[in-house]
Chains A and B, each alone.
Chain A
């Protein structure tokens, strides 16, 4: 029996994981079906676009700026080993547009937004505000989840586009001030090698990551346990699950976009 207990624990964990996947899948399907059916709440959507998109700009912008700068330094240091320093502008641009812009932007928004959504909805659940919504003839899924899902899905590509620009600018600043690049040549190299698909694929990734962030925030908030501990756990779970799902989705999308 003692030998079997680790197996039983693995079995229990696997079943619990499968149950969570099933619940998230059902929540996802219900949320998507409500996106397509009225009533819609445009005012709530506008509020969430400001909350999720506009207020995330400083975080995403600063992350992109420092990452672009660091990337330029790293590529220059690595490239100098085989006399390929000139590739700095193009690699910075491609690296940021395809990978670092959407992934770091997604992760930063996951930290800021998934946590905020889970904490807000979790607190609403604990204080019976979700029940109050139902008694006031308002479907919480439509009123709370749908505007957040739409806002995150629509604004994250915009954030990624802004982040890409700022990241490339960060590389440009470091390249021209610290690595001795001629400003005009740096810009020329950036635009010559960057293709439209590099940018578009990053924006599509951004939309998927935005959806994941809002879905995880709303799901964990709606399923929050009681009290401060319950809300705290929901917040942590939202951020962790959103981050892992972003990284997993990033790999799958990269496979789909660049190896197919």
Chain B
């Protein structure tokens, strides 16, 4: 379980998180929604240790993430980045097997390649993609490779940062379905940040709305449409009028 308590983070004068409290149960899929610039990515990066919070605690299975042994801690995580963040200097299979080719999870090259091809197949890509370079792939294929890399070492927790941004609706649907299937199949804890409501309905068990540096609403996806928070309602309906200021 991931437990976030009273998390604060500011960049200079710009306060991003102002006391976030959130619990993510093991094996559940939580989607964090919120407008651009509300600190969704910062929250994920705080959990991963890419950004150091100013105050507050983050516990993973009861252990403080800032005090955990770094390698062992990160080995539990997989992450799909918004733009894929594939290493363009190496072929697809080496991207997928990156973790299996070095560090504590290192294994023979042939085994790592085999696992990479298996994971690529799992995300719907044929083995002939393995030898290509990321720049030769379409946006949707890059997302799939990113997904394959995120699950390559069978992580306990997977983060998805805007998984459908930049994709056409059909490809977005395919990625959403893949994420849901993989999370259920692996029994992993998933945390997704998005502002795509189709994604939310496809992926989420629970939804948390982040606005103004705080979690405004948190609950099961089935209760989201009837949620009593005005911020939540404006966001999911996409209304221009409401408590969230929209620049016109």
Task: Using CB atoms and an 8 Å cutoff, list the residues of chain A in contact with chain B.
Answer: 39, 41, 120, 124, 127-129, 131-132, 134-138
Which chain B residues lie closer than 8 Å to A138 at the CB level? 98, 102-103
Quick one: given A127-B83, A129-B87, A132-B81, are A137 and B50 in contact (CB under 8 Å)? no
Contact A132 B74, beta carbon cutoff 8 Å: no
Contact B85 A129, beta carbon cutoff 8 Å: yes
Contact A132 B85, beta carbon cutoff 8 Å: yes
Which chain A residues lie closer than 8 Å to B74 at the CB level? 134-137
Which chain A residues lie closer than 8 Å to B85 at the CB level? 127-129, 131-132
Which chain A residues lie closer than 8 Å to B71 at the CB level? 137
Which chain A residues lie closer than 8 Å to B86 at the CB level? 129, 132
**Tally of B interface residues using CB under 8 Å:** 26
What distance in Å separates the Cβ of A138 from its nearest Cβ neighbour in chain B?
7
When chains A and B are docked, how far (Å) is the Cα of A120 from the Cα of B89? 10
When chains A and B are docked, how far (Å) is the Cα of A136 from the Cα of B88? 16
Q: From B77, B98, B102, give the contact of A41 (CB < 8 A).
A: B102
Contact A134 B102, beta carbon cutoff 8 Å: no
Answer yes or no: B79 CB below 8 A from chain A CBs. Answer: yes
Which chain A residues lie closer than 8 Å to B24 at the CB level? none
Contact A137 B45, beta carbon cutoff 8 Å: no
Which chain A residues lie closer than 8 Å to B149 at the CB level? 136
Task: Using CB atoms and an 8 Å cutoff, list the residues of chain B in contact with chain A.
Answer: 45, 48-50, 70-71, 74-75, 77-79, 81-83, 85-89, 98-99, 102-105, 149
Contact B104 A137, beta carbon cutoff 8 Å: yes
When chains A and B are docked, how far (Å) is the Cα of A127 from the Cα of B134? 13
When chains A and B are docked, how far (Å) is the Cα of A106 from the Cα of B89? 26
Nearest chain-B residue to A132 (Cβ)? B85
Most B-side CB within 10 Å, residue of A132, A136, A138: A136
Contact A131 B50, beta carbon cutoff 8 Å: yes
Quick one: given A129-B87, A131-B45, A131-B50, are A137 and B103 in contact (CB under 8 Å)? yes
Which chain A residues lie closer than 8 Å to B88 at the CB level? 129
Which chain B residues lie closer than 8 Å to A136 at the CB level? 74, 98-99, 149
Quick one: given A135-B77, A137-B71, A137-B74, are A39 and B83 in contact (CB under 8 Å)? no
Nearest chain-A residue to B146 (Cβ)? A132
Q: From A39, A124, A128, A135, give the contact of B103 (CB < 8 A).
A: A39
What distance in Å separates the Cβ of A203 from its nearest Cβ neighbour in chain B?
30
What distance in Å separates the Cβ of A145 from its nearest Cβ neighbour in chain B?
15
Nearest chain-A residue to B72 (Cβ)? A137
Which chain A residues lie closer than 8 Å to B104 at the CB level? 137
Can you give 10 contacting A-B residue pairs, CB < 8 Å? A41-B102, A127-B85, A129-B86, A131-B50, A135-B50, A137-B71, A137-B74, A137-B104, A138-B98, A138-B102
When chains A and B are docked, how far (Å) is the Cα of A191 from the Cα of B159? 66
When chains A and B are docked, how far (Å) is the Cα of A124 from the Cα of B89? 10
What distance in Å separates the Cβ of A39 from its nearest Cβ neighbour in chain B?
7
Which chain B residues lie closer than 8 Å to A124 at the CB level? 87
When chains A and B are docked, how far (Å) is the Cα of A131 from the Cα of B45? 9
What distance in Å separates the Cβ of B73 from its nearest Cβ neighbour in chain A?
9
Contact B87 A132, beta carbon cutoff 8 Å: yes
Which chain B residues lie closer than 8 Å to A132 at the CB level? 79, 81, 85-87
Q: From A39, A41, A131, A137, give the contact of B81 (CB < 8 A).
A: A131
When chains A and B are docked, how far (Å) is the Cα of A39 from the Cα of B70? 14
What distance in Å separates the Cβ of B99 from its nearest Cβ neighbour in chain A?
5
Contact B83 A128, beta carbon cutoff 8 Å: yes
Known A-B contacts: A132-B79, A138-B102. Give 6 more (CB < 8 A).
Answer: A120-B89, A127-B85, A132-B85, A135-B50, A135-B77, A135-B78
When chains A and B are docked, how far (Å) is the Cα of A120 from the Cα of B88? 10
Q: From A41, A128, A129, A137, give the contact of B82 (CB < 8 A).
A: A128
